[in-house]
Amino acid sequence: MPSPDLLDRFAAIVGTGNALRTDADVEPYLTEGRGLYRGATPLVLKPGSTEEVATIMKLASETKTPIVPVSGGTGLVGGGVPRAEGQDVVLSLARLNRIRDVDPVANVMAVDGGVILADVQKAAEEVDRLFPLSLGSEGSCRVAGNLSTNAGGTAVLAYGNMRQLCLGLEVVLPTGEIWDGMRRLKKDNTGYDLRDLFIGAEGTLGVITGAVLKLFPRPRGHQVAFVGLKSPADALKLFEFAAGLCGTALTGFELMPRIGVEFTTKHIPNVRDPLSSVHPWYALIDISTSDAEETAERMIGTLLETAYERGLIDDAVVASSEAQRKAIWHMRESMSDAQKPEGGSIKHDVSVPVSQVPDFMAEAEKAVLAAVPGARICAFGHLGDGNIHYNISQPVGADKAAYLARWREVNAIVHGIVLKHGGSISAEHGIGQLKRDELASIRSPIEMELMHRIKSAFDPAGIMNPGKVLK
C-alpha cells in the first residue's frame, strides 16, 4: 500500500484541490455502469497538464506505485476500476479537456486526451466537418478512453473504429517520458507503428494525453429506414445488397429482434414502434451521402423497392424528418437500457465474419435456450460489422441473483460458438478484468507471450493499470 507520505508527494504534484482522498470524493471512481466491479483507492489524482502526468508517472515508477488511468469512466469490462485491495492510485484525465486546434483544410483536430467525445463532435460541426465516432455514452466518455478501448459504435461501417479515426498520439510512458507522436499525416511509413500499439491497450502501456483526430466532410444527404423482416438471413441478404448499392454511403446497418422493440417501447419514454405491423426481426438502415439529399433519397428508394421485390422485407418506413431519424436511432441505442426493468441480463459483445451472423444466431439461440429455458434473447447490433451485442434477459419471474450467477457459464456457451465461427469474444468493449483470463485461455501461447513481452518492454516495473488485459 502507498504510505501517507507517498500519497502526499503525489498530491503535491497536482495541488491539494486536485487530489481526492475522502471516501465520498473517491467513490465515483470505484465502480462502473454495470456494477460488475467494485475497487478501492487511497487517492485520485486530477492532473492539469501532460507535464503533471509525466511527473506522476516518474514518481510512480521510482516508487513502484500502481497507477490506474481513468478517462470518462464509461467502460464496461472493469478496465478503469482500481483493484479491490486499495493499492492503486487513480489518475483521472478529466481536467485535460482542451481542444488544442482544429484544421478544417487538413481535416484534423488536435485534442487533449480527456476531452469529452460530444465536445469533439461539436467542434467538428462548428467548422462544417464530421467526427464520426458515435456511441451511447458520447456525452460523458472521453477520447483517451475511446482510444484505449479502440471504441466502435454505430458508424464503424463507413468510417471505421477509433483506430481508423486517429492520426497521432501523445503518450506519457510508465517511466514518465513523454512520447510526442502528435503527427497529422495521412501517410507516414517511418518505423514501427507505436500509435496502434497504444490504441486498444486499455491504459496498460501508457497514458494517452493527446490525440490528433481525423475529420470528414459533413454528409449532405441523410436517410434512415426501419424495416421489418423475417430472419437474420434475410437481413444479411439485404445488407449485402445495400452495401453493393450504397458503398461507403451505407453508414449504418443495425439488426434488432422483436423483443428489443417490445422492451424499448414498454420501458423507454417516448419510444414508439415505427411500424404498425409486427415482425420477428428489424433492421435500421442509415445512408449518408456526400453530394446531395437526392442521392440519399434515390438510394433508399432503390434499396427498399428492390428489397420488396426480392421478398427480403415485409414492411418499411423511411424517416421523413430529422426528429424521426433521431427517434429511430434512439430506439436502437436504448435497447440495452430497456432490458434493465426486465431483470438480470447476461451480456456478450461478440463478432463473427459478417457472412456467418445468421448461423451464429441460430446456433447460439439453440444452445442458450437448452441451458436456460425461458431465457429471453435480446441480440442486437451492428450487423454490417458482424458485431452482435448478444444480451440475454432472465426468464420471466426467475431469481435475478441466481440468474446472474450463471454469467460465466452462459458466456462459455456463447463464446464457444463465436470461436467456432472464427469470431471475437470482445468486438468493441475490450478485455479489462472481465475477459482477461478467458483471453489467455483462448489465444495461442505464442500470442500471449508476445503481448507479455510488449508489456515488459513498455512497462518494466509493471505499474501501468496492472491486472487489466494481461495477468
Query: Which one, 401 or 457, has the nearer CB to a second copy?
Result: 457
Window 260 to 279, contacts with a second copy (CB under 8 A): none
End-to-end Cα, the chain, rounded Å: 19
Window 76 to 135, contacts with a second copy (CB under 8 A): 103, 105-108
Establish if 149 lies at the interface with a second copy (CB under 8 A): yes
Q: Specify burial of residue 469 (Cβ count, 10 A radius: 0-12, 13-18, 19+).
A: buried
- Which residues on neighbouring strands pair with residue 387, listed in sequence order? 351, 382
Closest approach, Cβ 123 to a second copy, in A, equals 17
Closest approach, Cβ 401 to a second copy, in A, equals 29
List 86, 136, 177, 419, residue binding a second copy (CB under 8 A): 177
List 50, 289, 334, 411, residue binding a second copy (CB under 8 A): 289
Query: Which one, 199 or 328, has the nearer CB to a second copy?
Result: 199
Closest approach, Cβ 317 to a second copy, in A, equals 22
Establish if 236 lies at the interface with a second copy (CB under 8 A): yes
Cα–Cα dist 187/249, whole Å: 24
Closest approach, Cβ 458 to a second copy, in A, equals 7
Closest approach, Cβ 195 to a second copy, in A, equals 8
Establish if 213 lies at the interface with a second copy (CB under 8 A): no
Window 311 to 350, contacts with a second copy (CB under 8 A): none
Query: Which one, 130 or 372, has the nearer CB to a second copy?
Result: 130
Closest approach, Cβ 220 to a second copy, in A, equals 9
List 179, 324, 371, 407, residue binding a second copy (CB under 8 A): 179
Window 377 to 436, contacts with a second copy (CB under 8 A): 382, 385-387, 422-431, 435
Closest approach, Cβ 387 to a second copy, in A, equals 5
List 36, 118, 354, 419, residue binding a second copy (CB under 8 A): 354
Establish if 181 lies at the interface with a second copy (CB under 8 A): yes
Closest approach, Cβ 376 to a second copy, in A, equals 25
Establish if 301 lies at the interface with a second copy (CB under 8 A): no
List 185, 370, 402, 405, residue binding a second copy (CB under 8 A): 185
Question: The C-alpha cell of 399 is what?
Answer: 431469481
Closest approach, Cβ 303 to a second copy, in A, equals 10
Question: The C-alpha cell of 19 is what?
Answer: 487530489
Establish if 58 lies at the interface with a second copy (CB under 8 A): no
Dihedral, CA atoms, 391, 262, 366, 344, nearest 10 degrees?
A: 40
Judge contact between 272 and 290, C-beta under 8 A: no
Closest approach, Cβ 349 to a second copy, in A, equals 9
Closest approach, Cβ 219 to a second copy, in A, equals 7
Establish if 240 lies at the interface with a second copy (CB under 8 A): yes
Question: The C-alpha cell of 34 is what?
Answer: 454495470
Closest approach, Cβ 212 to a second copy, in A, equals 10
List 193, 293, 305, 399, residue binding a second copy (CB under 8 A): 193
Establish if 222 lies at the interface with a second copy (CB under 8 A): no
List 458, 463, 464, 465, residue binding a second copy (CB under 8 A): 458
List 5, 22, 192, 396, residue binding a second copy (CB under 8 A): 192
Query: Which one, 123 or 296, has the nearer CB to a second copy?
Result: 296
Establish if 351 lies at the interface with a second copy (CB under 8 A): yes
Query: Which one, 6 or 245, has the nearer CB to a second copy?
Result: 245
Query: Which one, 182 or 404, has the nearer CB to a second copy?
Result: 182
3-state DSSP of the chain: CCCHHHHHHHHHHHCHHHEECCHHHHHHHCECCCCCCECCCCCEECCCCHHHHHHHHHHHHHHCCCEEEECCCCCCCCCCCCCCCCCCEEEECCCCCCEEEEECCCCEEEEECCCEHHHHHHHHHHCCEECCCCCCCCCCCEHHHHHHCCCCCCCHHHHCCHHHHEEEEEEECCCCCEEEECCCCCCCCCCCCHHHHHCCCCCCCCEEEEEEEECEECCCEEEEEEEEECCHHHHHHHHHHHHHHHHHHEEEEEEEEHHHHHHHHHHCCCCCCCCCCCCCEEEEEEEEECCCHHHHHHHHHHHHHHHHHCCCCCEEEECCCHHHHHHHHHHHHCCCHHHHHHCCEECCEEECCHHHHHHHHHHHHHHHHHHCCCCEEEEEEEHHHCEEEEEEECCCCCCHHHHHCCHHHHHHHHHHHHHHCCCECECCCCCCCCCHHHHHHHCCHHHHHHHHHHHHHHCCCCCECCCCCCC
Query: Which one, 15 or 33, has the nearer CB to a second copy?
Result: 33
